[in-house]
Amino acid sequence: MSQVEANGMVLEYEVSGDPSDPPLVLVMGLGAQLIAWPDEFCAMLAARGFYVVRYDNRDAGLSTAFDGITPDVMALLAGEPTSVPYRIEDMADDAAGLISALGLRPAHVVGASMGGMIVQALAIRHPEAVRSVCSIMSTTGDPSVGAPTDAAVSALLVPPATSRDEAIEQSVAASRAIAGTGFAFPEDQIRVRAALAHDRSYRPEGMLRQLAAILASPDRTEGLHGVRVPFLVIHGTTDPLVTPSGGEATAAAVPGAELMMVTGMGHDLPVPVWGDLVAAIAANAAKAP
């Protein structure tokens, strides 16, 4: 892994594949590190002819942290965002800075959950930086779409763990709560990934700041109307954290966007659908000039 300075941040990143191939940048979601993109999934993308870059967002993993800043969530919910240190748009600027710093402009970009919000904002704010966009299990920022179920919210909004074992159990429980109904829950794999993530970096305060960034960011619907690159939206039919209307609204907002609904998928990336997802991402990228 390596680090690069971008948009005033230090971003940890990792690459795989042939540097001569078209670049594809993966952007992860709330509180998640770059390793949340499984190695095998990245290898499948590289095998389809992409130079794959995954990185830690600010306040996650080994990238710049905003330690010591605690957003006032109650004030934020009341419409007062002054305690929020950054927004989704700033994280999109990070992605643009990373793409430029690594000499990858323009790049294909794929974002999951909050990462989907980031690549949406990236396409709006930095159209010259992107060749194609794929937004997975995400939404536009319009509060009337994609609202989570109460059970999904409750599973995520738990007090920070006080031990490694507790952190792993919390991660497994949260993953189970937001998984889809169409696939067996891979508890052993999730437990291993949770342990790896905890040992690499445990930043519950960073997750809170990222959540505040989501809540403080404006609706991207109008901006998405102006996006003119190949745009793929992937969403699970049983996603309880960002319910399907979020993906449907995203696709409706972008002219010519393709919507791929995955039966039984929740707020996760089940191994049995990796082949279909990779094929769809590659097909969307192939539409780019």
Q: Which tokens go with 25?
A: 């940048």
Assigned domain for 152 exists: no
- Average pLDDT, rounded, for the chain: 97
Q: Please choose, from the candidates 232, 235, 233, 243, the residue with its C-alpha nearest in 3D space to the C-alpha of residue 263.
A: 235
Residue found by looking up tokens 């919000």 in the block: 117
The residues with which 262 forms a beta bridge, in sequence order, are 236
**pLDDT value of residue 73:** 81
CA distances from 27 to 43, 72, 170 (A): 16, 26, 23
For residues 90 and 124, the answer to whether their CB atoms sit within 8 Å is no
What is the β-pairing status of strands 9-16 and 51-55?
antiparallel
Terminal-to-terminal C-alpha distance of the chain: 31
Look up residue 112 and give its DSSP letter. E
Phi, psi of 49 (to 5 degrees): 100, 30
Assigned domain for 89 exists: yes
Assigned domain for 267 exists: yes
**pLDDT value of residue 155:** 85
Assigned domain for 143 exists: yes
- Which residues of the chain, if any, have pLDDT below 50? none
pLDDT of 148-190, one tens digit each? 999 999 988 899 999 999 999 999 999 999 999 999 999 999 9
Q: Please choose, from the candidates 145, 134, 125, the residue with its C-alpha nearest in 3D space to the C-alpha of residue 257.
A: 134
Assigned domain for 11 exists: yes
Host domain of residue 220: 2-147+204-286
**pLDDT value of residue 171:** 96
Assigned domain for 195 exists: no
Domain total for the chain? 1
Assigned domain for 167 exists: no
Assigned domain for 223 exists: yes
**CATH number for the domain including 67?**
3.40.50.1820
**pLDDT value of residue 152:** 94
- d(CA 171, CA 104) in angstroms, rounded, equals 34
**pLDDT value of residue 92:** 98
